[in-house]
């Protein structure tokens, strides 16, 4: 006698599929791991002089720039979750899943869990490479734990935005079109310089209003400051808010995709 599998069992099946898919597409693994490290290396060597600016919060630019790498990893999770779901819409696989007793939440949570596992794995690589390169985490082991919780939440926020775009558009190309926008948002944030040291007024204004700045600053605080409760609280709050918006949009888009 067949019985409807439990929600966690459904999530596990979808997450497993998502992981398998990702592992079989090197294009979904290599860029999120390599590009951020590549940029980190360039920035660390090219911008090291920035640490000489009076008021620069760290004496090591690599420590300062680690947050940049983590943010890029989170943005890649938007790309991966969005592309995968859009492909499922395009191929009709979503309809196949909709014909099973599986709950829509399971599809979404499972897909995001699979993406998130890859994101966290790339985070481990950034950290290990960083530590080898001499990065210090001021907040210690507890800071690393908080780092991965925050990084996971930020990854989830971007992944759910990706899921929303992917399900809404049903087109992998549309997701890929959105991807650079997030990179622009990252470059227009305080990722390269602390806000108070940005000299251009317009840039400083944009960076101040750009929520990405606060995500970067939350992660960065764990590397270069001792515990900074406010920076962390703001980062967690923004990541949670974006996750809520992304998930709400994705659930809505999924409903229209499954029953048109």
Nearest residue to 73 via CA among 20, 18, 130, 24: 130
Q: Residue 25 or residue 205: which is nearer to another protein going by CB?
A: 25
Instruction: State the CB neighbour count (10 A cutoff) for residue 188.
Output: 16
CB of 117 to another protein, least distance (A): 16
Q: Which of residues 141-180 bind another protein (CB under 8 A)?
A: none
Rounded Cα distance between 69 and 86, Å, is: 26
Torsional class of 140: left (φ above 0), alpha (ψ -120 to 50), beta (otherwise):
left
Angle at 229 (CA atoms; ends 234, 207), nearest 5 degrees: 40
Our finding on whether 10 is near another protein (CB under 8 A) is yes
Q: Which of 3, 141, 199, 202 binds another protein (CB under 8 A)?
A: 3
Q: Residue 7 or residue 198: which is nearer to another protein going by CB?
A: 7
Our finding on whether 260 is near another protein (CB under 8 A) is yes
| Contact status, residue 67 vs residue 219, Cβ threshold 8 Å | yes
CB of 84 to another protein, least distance (A): 10
CB of 64 to another protein, least distance (A): 39
Q: Which stretch binds another protein (CB under 8 A): 11-19, 38-46, 206-214, 233-241?
A: 11-19
Structure tokens at 152: 């996971």
Question: Looking only at Cα atoms, what is the longest distance across the chain?
Answer: 72
| Contact status, residue 163 vs residue 88, Cβ threshold 8 Å | no
Q: 114 Cβ partners below 8 Å, 6+ apart?
A: 14, 15, 16, 17, 18, 19, 21, 22
- Residues in the interface with another protein (CB under 8 A) total 29
Q: Residue 102 or residue 232: which is nearer to another protein going by CB?
A: 102
HSE-up of residue 57 (Cα within 13 Å, Cβ side): 20
User: Site map for another protein, 73-102, x if CB under 8 A?
Assistant: ------------------xxxxxxxxxxxx
User: Site map for another protein, 19-38, x if CB under 8 A?
Assistant: -xx--xx-------------
Q: Distances in Å between the alpha carbon of 4 and those of 100, 109, 125, 150, 230? A: 9, 17, 38, 34, 45
Q: Which of residues 100-129 bind another protein (CB under 8 A)?
A: 100-102
CB of 182 to another protein, least distance (A): 25
Q: Residue 3 or residue 200: which is nearer to another protein going by CB?
A: 3
DSSP reduced 3-state for 3? coil
CB of 92 to another protein, least distance (A): 3
Question: Any idea which residue has 């709400």 for tokens?
Answer: 248
CB of 21 to another protein, least distance (A): 5
Our finding on whether 256 is near another protein (CB under 8 A) is no
User: In the complex, which residues of this chain contact another protein (CB under 8 A)?
Assistant: 1-5, 9-10, 13, 16-17, 20-21, 24-25, 91-102, 258-260
């Amino acid at each position: 006698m067949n019985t409807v599998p439990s929600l966690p069992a459904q999530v596990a099946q979808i997450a497993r599929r998502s992981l398998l898919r990702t592992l079989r597409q090197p294009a979904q693994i290599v860029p999120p791991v390599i590009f951020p490290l590549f940029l980190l290396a360039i920035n660390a060597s090219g911008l090291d002089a920035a640490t000489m600016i009076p008021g620069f919060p760290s004496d090591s630019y690599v420590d300062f720039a680690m947050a940049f790498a983590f943010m890029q990893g989170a943005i890649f999770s938007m790309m991966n979750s969005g592309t995968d779901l859009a492909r499922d819409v395009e191929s009709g696989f979503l309809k196949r899943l909709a014909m099973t007793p599986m709950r829509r939440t399971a599809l979404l949570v499972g897909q995001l869990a699979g993406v998130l596992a890859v994101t966290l794995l790339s985070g481990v690589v950034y950290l290990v490479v960083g530590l080898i390169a001499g990065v210090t985490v001021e907040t210690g082991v507890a800071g690393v734990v908080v780092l991965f919780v925050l990084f996971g939440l930020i990854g989830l926020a971007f992944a759910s935005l990706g899921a929303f775009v992917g399900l809404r558009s049903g087109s992998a190309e549309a997701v890929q079109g959105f991807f650079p926008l997030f990179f622009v948002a990252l470059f227009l944030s305080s990722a390269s310089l602390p806000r108070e040291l940005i000299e251009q007024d317009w840039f400083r204004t944009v960076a101040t209003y750009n929520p990405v700045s606060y995500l970067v600053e939350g992660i960065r605080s764990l590397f270069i400051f001792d515990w900074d409760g406010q920076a962390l609280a703001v980062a967690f709050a923004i990541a949670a808010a974006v996750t809520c918006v992304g998930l709400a949009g994705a659930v809505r888009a999924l409903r229209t995709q499954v029953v048109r």
